[in-house]
Structure formats: structure tokens, C-alpha cells
Amino acid sequence: MQGEMSILQLVLDASLLVQAVMLILVLASVASWALIFRKHAVVKDASRSSEDFEDRFWSGGNLAEIYARVGSSDDADGGMERIFRAGFREFSRMRKQGASPEAQVEASQRAMRISLSREEDDLEAHLPFLATVGSTSPYIGLFGTVWGIMNSFRALGGQQQATLAAVAPGIAEALIATALGLFAAIPAVIGYNRYASSVERLCGRYETFMEEFISILQRHAHTQAAQQQQDKR
């Protein structure tokens, strides 16, 4: 308890600039942890919704029926579902307009690319903040460290005899600033690396599904075109 009170007292007795540095680092750490927990929930929900949709999609069934079920479902509206919706909606629209099979597939692919880009932007949102906190916090803490050591030397310069009591407060506030810088930086770096990797895997999963879905649409479009030609004969 005395140790905790002494640290608190050192913070309160620190110079105004070092206190400002400590406050910035504490706020950065709190914001980083909040973002880490938020990003964990987002990535987890996106992964779960993708797995659920893939199970429904590859279980078989007519594409129009799958689109109708997905379009009317408000429970699980994940990124893969939105990509599927965008692609099949554009495919159906071009088919109704009597476009060629190639035009139908190209329009669908274009719509899915746009949807995929939006999903990537949403998943990567705020990740640069974690990278910024992780890279700059040690230097902000180092600035407070240097300032605390400068205060120690100034206090030492005004003394006739060098004593530990004269330099201890400045050294202590310098070490606290260093510790806070590391406390803010380490979780931010770990969180950024983890979720950047998770987002990359999710986006790769979306792209794989998109390519497979495009292949299905190509077969579907050419089969339908061949059937129409046969009916005309």
C-alpha cells in the first residue's frame, strides 16, 4: 500500500510536462484496450457469420432460393453474405436485361469486388491507431524520461553535495514515464499484429468464396444461354 501511495505521490509531484506525458500515455492505453476488445468482437462475429453462411451455401440448393433466404434474414448479416448479395443481385439484374453471359459475370464480379473492398475497409478500421500507439508511445515515454532526468540534474546542480534524495524524484518520474510508454505500446503492437493477421485471413477467405461463386455463375450463365438457344430451335 505504501508503494502504491508513493508512486501516486511521485506522479502528483512530477513536473507539469511529465504529468502531461503520463496522461497522454494513459489515455492512449485506455483507447487501445477498448479498441482491442472491440476488434476482437468484430473479427469473431465476422468469422462466425462466414462459417455459418458457407455451411448454408455449400449445403446445396438453388441460388435464387439462397438469395431469398439471405435477403430476408436479419440475424446474420456478415461480410460474405453481403458479397454474395451484391454479386447475385447484379447477376440477376443483367440477366433480366438480356445481357450476354460474359457481361452478366463481369457485372457480378465488379459488384462483388466493390463489396469486398468495403468489407476490407470495415475490418481494417482503427487498426492504424493501434500501430500508431505501438510505434509512438515508447518515444513519448522517452521524452518524459529525458525531461525527468533533466530535472534531476537541475536539482543536483543546486546542491552542495550530491545526495540520493536530490535526484530520486526526477529519476523516479522518468522511470514511471518510461514504464507507461511500454505499458501503452506493448498491448497495442500485439493487438495490431494479431488483428491485422486475422483480417488478412478473413479477406482471403472472402476472395476465395468470391472466385468460387464467380465460377458457379459462369457455368450457370452459359448453361442458361445454351438452353435458351436450344428452345429457340
Per-residue confidence at 164, pLDDT binned at 50, 70, 90? Answer: low
In this predicted model, which residue has the larger pLDDT, 204 or 3?
204
Q: What mean pLDDT do residues 143-154 have?
A: 80
Q: What mean pLDDT do residues 155-163 have?
A: 61
What is the domain count for the chain?
1
Is there a domain that residue 100 lies in? yes
Is there a domain that residue 5 lies in? no
Domain that holds residue 46: 13-232
Is there a domain that residue 8 lies in? no
Q: Cell 453481403 maps to which residue?
A: 82
In this predicted model, what pLDDT tens digit does every residue of 85-99 receive, in sequence order? Answer: 999 999 989 888 888
Is there a domain that residue 3 lies in? no
Is there a domain that residue 80 lies in? yes
Per-residue confidence at 5, pLDDT binned at 50, 70, 90? Answer: very low
Q: Answer whether residue 4 shows pLDDT above 50.
A: no
Q: Answer whether residue 196 shows pLDDT above 80.
A: yes
Q: Answer whether residue 162 shows pLDDT above 60.
A: no
Which pLDDT score, from 0 to 100, does residue 3 have?
46
Is there a domain that residue 7 lies in? no
Q: Answer whether residue 185 shows pLDDT above 80.
A: yes
In this predicted model, what pLDDT tens digit does every residue of 30-60 receive, in sequence order? Answer: 999 999 999 999 999 999 999 988 888 888 7
Which pLDDT score, from 0 to 100, does residue 29 have?
94
Is there a domain that residue 88 lies in? yes
